[in-house]
Amino acid sequence: MFIVWGTREKLKKDISTGIDWCPVCKKFTGWYVGRHVKIKHVEYIPLKTDVLEYFMMCGICQHGPVIDQNSYFELKRMHEPFKKRKQQIQCFEKAAKMAESLEPNEVSVNTIMDALAAEYPIRSSQQLEGEYRRRIQALLLTHGIGGDPNALMQPAEPQPQPQQPAEMDTI
C-alpha cells in the first residue's frame, strides 16, 4: 500500500490590483497581489501551507517585484473596494477612450479622475487615488494627443538586491 505525501509550491493570485504598465511585456496588463506558497499534503489533502514570499505580478508574463508582508496586506486592503476584474477593465477602457482625445497634462488627469470617480471607487482611499492618478498619467503619455507610445517602453531597471554583511566563520 502506497501513501502519497509531499510538498508542492504554488503561486496564488489573491486580488487583482487593476490594469497597469508592465515593463517586461511592454503594454498595459492586469496585475495581481499574491503569495508564493508551499503546501504540504498527504494523499493530496493539504495539511499545512507556508508562505514563502509575497509579490505583485503581471497577469501575462508573471514577472513583478517581491514585496514584504506589510506591503502585501496594505495593497490587499487598498484594492479591496475595487476588486471586481470586470469593473477594473471597464474603468481602464473608459480612461483609455478619454485619454485619446486629451493632451498629457494635469488638467487632463483631473478630468479623467473626476469622470472615473463618478462611476468607480477609485477615490475610496488616498493611496488608491494616487495609484490611479499615476496610471492615468502613464495612459496619457502613451495614448494622449501628442503622446509618445514609446514613452513608457524603457527597459525595466534591475532592482538592487540588499547585500548581507559578510560573516567570518569561527574555527
Which stretches in the chain have pLDDT values below 70?
A: 146-171
SS in 3 state form for 62-109?
CCCCEECHHHHHHHHHHHHHHCCHHHHHHHHHHHHHHHCCCCCCHHHH
Does 38 reside within a domain?
A: yes
Beta bridge partners of 41: 6, 46
36, part of any domain: yes
pLDDT of residue 114: 92
Supply the range of the domain harboring residue 106: 84-152
The type of residue at 105 is: N
- Specify the pLDDT at position 89: 87
- Kindly report whether the global pTM for this prediction surpasses the value 0.85: no
* 45 in the same domain as 102: no
Is residue 67 packed enough to be buried (19+ CB in 10 Å), middle (13-18) or exposed (0-12)?
middle
Query: Quick one: 51 and 35 in the same domain?
Result: yes
Q: Give the pLDDT of residue 166.
A: 43
pLDDT digits (tens, 9 = 90+) for 30-75: 889 989 999 898 888 888 889 999 999 888 888 888 999 999 998 8
Q: What is the pLDDT of residue 78?
A: 87
